[in-house]
Amino acid sequence: MKNSNRTILNAEIDANLKKAYQDSLNQKLPKRFVDLIDQLRSKETPSPGSAPENGEER
């Protein structure tokens, strides 16, 4: 294969991969995942007045 043909083919592959990746970034997360992330974040954030974990200072 000539270099110019290979360059064109590589450019087309790059463009298609970028398009597929961009399309996946634009999709919304399923509600189930959003709910799970919210649950994890609520467990991560200490309640006001709660004791620090593992001897960490506030």
Whole-prediction pTM = 0.42
CA distances, 41 to each of 4, 6, 55 (Å):
51, 48, 20
Predicted pLDDT at 24 = 87
Q: Residue 9, Cα to own-chain centre: how many angstroms?
A: 29
Domain ranges of the chain: 3-44
Give the DSSP H or E segment for 52: none
Query: The tokens of 29 are what?
Result: 């997360």
Predicted pLDDT at 16 = 94
Using one digit for the tens of pLDDT, what is the confidence trace for 2-58? 788 999 999 999 999 999 999 888 889 899 999 999 999 999 876 666 555 565 554
Q: How far apart are CA 27 and CA 7, in angstroms?
A: 31
